[in-house]
């Protein structure tokens, strides 16, 4: 199975320090939907692993999150793309759960769901916590310079085997080329 793991906010859509609280606030980053479609067309299953603490903070409900994800899937459908499954952590940092990145609970769920070893599976994020979770799970961490990615790159606070690209489309083209 050819699998690619994506973070959501800052990778697929524009991020907000105030959280994405409605489908209207969910705005794709230029080229991100095309990138997912391109991966799909080349035989990749695309999944999302995302921290969604807005639920734990009571800023949004599970229903609102589902509506945000429906908008994302509907827009992807128009580009002939699809995210196979969305794995998310609804907790706040203080909950101490096992699923909030940089912990590896979401990665473990992906591993179990697809019965796959995550070793060298491309995993794309825009934050140190994404890259740490990917690296600890033996996936190939990839940093994009969208979202928080430029700050992370400047601080050099990421695993040493991290690959860096300007955006999801550039990273996706590289993944396909390296196949």
Catalytic annotation, residues: 7, 9
Q: Phi and psi at residue 141, in whole multiples of 5°?
A: -70, 135
DSSP-derived 3-state class of residue 127:
coil
Nearest in space to 9 (alpha carbons), one of 84, 101, 104, 140: 101
Rounded (5°) CA angle 47-122-99: 55
Kindly write down the DSSP assignment for every residue of 34-70, as one continuous string.
HHHHHHHHTT-EEEEEEE-HHHHTTSS-HHHHHHHHH
Kindly write down the DSSP assignment for every residue of 93-107, as one continuous string.
GGG--SSSTTSSHHH
Which residues face 163 on adjacent strands?
A: 142
């Amino acid at each position: 199975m050819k699998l690619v793991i994506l973070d959501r906010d800052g990778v697929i859509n524009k991020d907000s320090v105030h959280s994405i609280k409605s489908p209207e606030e969910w705005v794709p980053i230029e080229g991100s939907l095309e990138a997912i479609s391109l991966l799909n067309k080349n035989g990749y299953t695309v999944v999302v692993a995302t921290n969604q603490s807005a639920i734990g903070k009571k800023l949004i409900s599970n229903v609102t999150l589902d509506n945000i994800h429906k908008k994302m899937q509907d827009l992807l459908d128009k580009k002939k793309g699809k995210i196979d499954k969305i794995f998310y952590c609804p907790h706040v940092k203080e909950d101490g759960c096992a699923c909030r990145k940089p912990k590896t609970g979401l990665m473990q769920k992906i591993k179990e769901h697809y019965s796959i070893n995550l070793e060298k599976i491309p995993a794309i994020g825009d934050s140190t916590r994404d890259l740490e979770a990917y690296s600890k799970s033996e996936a190939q961490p990839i940093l994009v310079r969208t979202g928080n990615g430029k700050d992370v790159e400047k601080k050099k606070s990421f695993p040493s085997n991290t690959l860096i690209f300007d955006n999801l489309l550039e990273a996706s083209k590289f993944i396909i080329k390296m196949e």
